């Protein structure tokens, strides 16, 4: 069950990253400043990388149901939501009219979630038994 959730979450996050990437490359190109567009692009890239990581977690967890791999998946998902989500909101505030200055300090927490997710992923791989 959990492997399906990570696989589906990863696929959904990859779809959203693809849509947002297209928005950034086309629709937002003329309405965002170069700095805002660069931030938006960074959020999209990190979301896509970690969407693929979530898919990897789902595949590995199907064969190795380790608690560290489970935490890795949760941390990658949290990182996407906090890091990329906050950057999306902050970089589009001029067109969305959503002003949430508290998100600026929250963005690094998402980055820490990504890092902790990778550490957890590595720990899980080292705990894996050779077959």
Residue 88 is predicted with a pLDDT of 97
Distance CA 59, CA 61 (A): 6
- Condensed to tens digits (0 to 9), the pLDDT of residues 71-91 reads 999 999 999 999 999 999 999
Q: Which domain holds residue 31?
A: 2-127
Asked whether the beta carbons of 86 and 103 are under 8 A apart, the reply is yes
Half-sphere exposure of 103 (CA within 13 A, CB side): 16
Band of pLDDT at residue 131, cut at 50, 70 and 90: low
- Condensed to tens digits (0 to 9), the pLDDT of residues 36-54 reads 999 999 999 999 999 999 9
Tokens for 70, please give them: 């489970």
Model confidence, pTM: 0.93
Question: How many domains does one find in the chain?
Answer: 1
């Amino acid at each position: 069950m959990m492997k399906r959730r990570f696989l589906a979450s990863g696929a959904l996050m990859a779809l959203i990253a693809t849509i947002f990437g297209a928005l950034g490359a086309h629709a937002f190109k003329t309405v965002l400043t170069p700095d805002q567009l660069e931030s938006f692009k960074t959020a999209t890239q990190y979301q896509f990388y970690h969407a693929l990581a979530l898919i990897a977690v789902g595949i590995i967890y199907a064969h190795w149901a380790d608690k560290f791999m489970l935490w890795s998946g949760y941390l990658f998902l949290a990182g996407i939501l906090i890091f990329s989500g906050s950057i999306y909101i902050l970089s589009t505030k001029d067109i969305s009219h959503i002003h949430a200055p508290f998100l600026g300090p929250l963005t690094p927490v998402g980055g820490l979630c990504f890092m902790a997710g990778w550490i957890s992923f590595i720990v899980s791989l080292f705990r894996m038994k050779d077959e």
